[in-house]
Amino acid sequence: SLAISCSFPIKTSKRKIILPAQIKAFDEYGNIWFPFKNYFSPFYESIVLIGEWRKGKVAWEKGGKVTIDPNISCRLCEPAVAELEDGRLLMICRGDNGAFPDKPGYKWVSISDDGGYNWTKPQPLTFDDGTKLFSPSSCSHLFRSWRTGKLYWIANVLKQNPVGNRPRYPLIIAEIDEDKLAVKRKSMLVIDDRMPGEPELVQLSNFRCYQDRATGDLVMIMARYGECKDDWRRSPLYLYRVHLD
């Protein structure tokens, strides 16, 4: 399956369309690979689809895959992609420590200098001071503000090690240091967090967003699944607006 719930396509300076995607890995017998018998998820690898207009239609190619040792991360999926100022592509992948919660739960960084056809070995995403950045197995988003020119990242960032998908709060936005390929710790802003009295399973994830063409503000839409104690699936859509400067 190439489809992911949080795919934000981009157009590069070379007029290519980059569509983040993921694929399931297969074992030696051609079956979908489940590295851990008691864990629900198969092993995913991240890729991008590369599109270009040719003769009135989009022609697609598959880029190289980004993979990892399953004993380090249960899967590598839901990639977020952005073009750096120097033209390289930055990918931040969702990791997962759900099968071994004693190990750290990270997001993983990979770089392509050829437009998405080949990618570097993934490394843990860190803060710009070199310290660890813990994040649950959840989606994230990269975007460059047309108003400020800065590269931003939206994600769940924790003070402690996660356990698989949880907890999915708080939800933050932060600047990316494009030289260090790291998150600027002092730039972090909490968009939303679990409120007092809310269930521990509330999740602030699977959002959609865009930049307001008039103001440059980030406009985000998100359901706060799990906020209702009677039925975790019930949540209205909330509208968030973040002023970027």
Domain assignments of the chain as residue spans, ordered by start: 10-242
**Interatomic CA distance for residues 173 and 161, integer angstroms:** 19
Q: How many CB atoms lie within 10 A of CB 162?
A: 23
Of 98, 127, 95, nearest to 108 (Cα)?
95
User: In this predicted structure, what is the pLDDT of residue 211?
Assistant: 98
Q: What is the pLDDT along the chain (245 residues), one digit of tens a residue?
A: 566 788 999 999 999 999 999 999 999 999 999 999 899 999 999 999 999 999 999 999 999 999 999 999 999 999 999 999 999 999 999 999 999 999 999 999 999 999 999 999 999 999 999 999 999 999 999 999 999 999 999 999 999 999 999 999 999 999 999 999 999 999 999 999 999 999 999 999 999 999 999 999 999 999 999 999 888 889 999 999 999 99
Of 70, 72, 67, nearest to 34 (Cα)?
70
- Residue identified by tokens 């931040």 is 92
Tokens of 168: 């999915």
C-alpha count within 13 angstroms, C-beta hemisphere, residue 85: 12
- Residue identified by tokens 């981009």 is 10
Q: How far is CA 57 from CA 3, 49, 50, 51, 53, in A?
A: 21, 15, 13, 10, 5
User: Can you name the CATH fold of 10-242?
Assistant: Neuraminidase (2.120.10)
Fill in the DSSP letter of residue 185: G
